[in-house]
Amino acid sequence: MTWTVHTCLITLAILCVWQAEVAETCRCSRRHPQEQFCSADMVLKATIDGKLRVGITMHGNFSAFGYVKRLKTFKGTCAQIDEIHTASSSARCGVRLSTNTEYLLSGSVSGNRMNVYLCDWVMLWDKLTDSQREGVVYNYEQGCGCKFTYCSTAPCTASSSAECLWGEEATEIKLFGKSTEGYTCTMKSDKSCAWCKNGEENCIDRKDV
């Protein structure tokens, strides 16, 4: 094989990969932050040590990876991870992470690495609301046995008592008479679920709409 032919084949391969990435679009279903917390293997407050580097996985996909410094672990305390991985482009649900910046990171764990994507709960730590911080630190695990259902309109029917309905503020006001902002989906002693504050002391009931 001549040098020219070899170069053309390499160029063609790169173009094919680029076109495949452009054709892909990252699509995420609507999920409540507490649901994202519950579905994650690990949730932590962390910074990234050093710029993310791009490599190729064993399956031939481009991946960005770097070293993570844990500041506080809220879920998955037994996992021993030292690397963070994501897709190399936002089209493939990759996230952009900067160094010397504190993040809330949630994702799956594989070996010594944590995998995070756009569909996971990834936020700048200082952008979290007070209720989200309180939920991450203290309350969110109380509802991890509940089902979260997004309602685009009201009326909206729960399939069981162990379910927390949520939606945009206008929809929630129709469902509950108020927004669930500041409330935590909580599994109560009777195994039913509701949006509550302070355990089971202050819960909001669904209205008949």
For residue range 74-123, list pLDDT tens digits in order.
999 887 888 888 888 888 898 888 888 999 999 999 888 899 999 999 99
Domain boundary among 64, 93, 127: 127
Give the structural domain span for 190. 145-204
**165 and 116 in one domain?**
no
68 and 118, same structural domain? yes
The domain boundary residue, chosen from 127, 157, 178: 127
**Among candidate residues 127, 155, 179, the one where a domain is terminated:** 127
121 within domain boundaries:
yes
pLDDT one-digit tens code per residue, 70-82:
999 999 988 788 8
Same domain, 123 and 42: yes
Q: How far is the CA of 32 from the CAs of 35, 37, 39, 44, 168, in angstroms? A: 5, 9, 11, 17, 11
Token couple for 206: 């669904």
157 and 100 belong to one structural domain:
no
The answer to whether 26 is a known ligand-binding residue is yes
209/203 Cα distance (integer angstroms): 18
Q: What is the pTM of this model?
A: 0.81
The predicted-structure confidence for 7-34, as pLDDT tens digits, reads as follows 444 444 444 444 444 446 899 999 999 9
**Both 77 and 153 in a single domain?**
no
Take residue 90 and report the two structure tokens written for it.
Answer: 């936002």
pLDDT of res. 147: 97
